[in-house]
Structure 1
């Protein structure tokens, strides 16, 4: 049941040079083999506690297809997939939507969910930012330079000011940056 103001967080895993996938769409590089002794251990308990705080996910159809291929990390949490394609899922928690993004956010997501996570991809990220629909950006940076591929922030077209809320370093070398999007 909704009890507080809704918050939409854009989340993405990125290489240090800002790519979310290789040119061929591969994300096999996303698991760091680095070691950083001062970092936090990314345990199953840590991940479970974090995931419990998310009320629903919203993503594009390509991200959805990657999630299905990689083993579906979203459990039974509601997932909204934005697509113009005719797609189906055997999962009861997945709903496919199309139409005006601002209306979907205002009429479908915000009235029902508090902690909404937009998890990909770059085109959807661009629209959320362009329309001013997101409240926060959470980037998990893997210690890898890809050199080329699919950009996370793909030419948004306007300047957006951010406020650093927190940083977390993990033992595998991944760094998480949490930003609040300053509203103009």
Structure 2
């Protein structure tokens, strides 16, 4: 590990104003409302700092479904899909992991490299929060009220005190919040 710049687990995710990641049927089309030509909301700068990607199995499956069976993150990052299923063979640049999440994060943080990008879903966020393993939260709040769906924060974790780092407002109405532990 590079002691001058230790690896961090960073949750980089979007949610609706009322706290949802997706509709109950995994519809993400509401995210298109904030698309603007040439605007990536800091994503390119963020991804230059990371080289490892953590995601839950359900989110992995949703991404593959949306991308016609492809998982584009595997071309850019070392990818770990956290799953309860045992003995899944690694495939297409993806490592399936079903052990203790703390052991995986500690191992990754002990290796040289960039930061570790967590993209959800809610079960993985809850699991990482329960173990107090998320170092930084970058949450893009999309100006839409979905009314119902899959929540980002589903509870079942102890309180975590955070320190506000920044708040950026974009012309689309998206507000990006950045907090650290």
Shorter-chain TM range is 0.7 to 0.9
8 Å CA contact 2:51, 2:76 repeated in 1: no
8 Å CA contact 2:34, 2:142 repeated in 1: no
- Report the counterpart of residue 111 of structure 1 in structure 2: 110
In the TM superposition, structure 1's runs of 4+ consecutive aligned residues that sit over 4 Å from their partners are 86-90
Deviation at 1:145, TM superposition (A): 0.2
* Structure 1 CA distance for aligned equivalents of residues 50 and 88 of structure 2: 24
8 Å CA contact 2:34, 2:174 repeated in 1: no
Extract unaligned runs of 5+ from structure 2.
none
* Structure 2 CA distance for aligned equivalents of residues 149 and 17 of structure 1: 10
8 Å CA contact 1:17, 1:146 repeated in 2: yes
* Structure 2 CA distance for aligned equivalents of residues 139 and 156 of structure 1: 20
Change (3 A) 1:58 1:10: same
Whether 1:62 aligns to 2:58 is yes
* Structure 2 CA distance for aligned equivalents of residues 47 and 15 of structure 1: 18
8 Å CA contact 2:10, 2:138 repeated in 1: yes
* Structure 2 CA distance for aligned equivalents of residues 88 and 143 of structure 1: 40
Deviation at 1:143, TM superposition (A): 0.9
- Cα RMSD, aligned residues only: 2.4
- Report the counterpart of residue 174 of structure 1 in structure 2: 174
Superposed CA offset, 1:29-80 (max 9, x none): 1122488xxxxx5159x64333222111101001111222233442321111
Of 24-33 and 117-126, deviating more is: 24-33
8 Å CA contact 2:49, 2:114 repeated in 1: no
8 Å CA contact 1:8, 1:115 repeated in 2: yes
SS of the aligned residue for 2:53 comes to strand
SS of the aligned residue for 1:102 comes to helix
* Structure 2 CA distance for aligned equivalents of residues 153 and 67 of structure 1: 20
Scaled by the length of structure 2, the TM-score of the pair is 0.84
Question: Which of residues 23, 39, 49 in structure 2 aligns to 1:42?
Answer: 39
8 Å CA contact 1:165, 1:180 repeated in 2: yes
Of 168-177 and 82-91, deviating more is: 82-91
SS of the aligned residue for 1:13 comes to strand
* Structure 2 CA distance for aligned equivalents of residues 58 and 43 of structure 1: 21
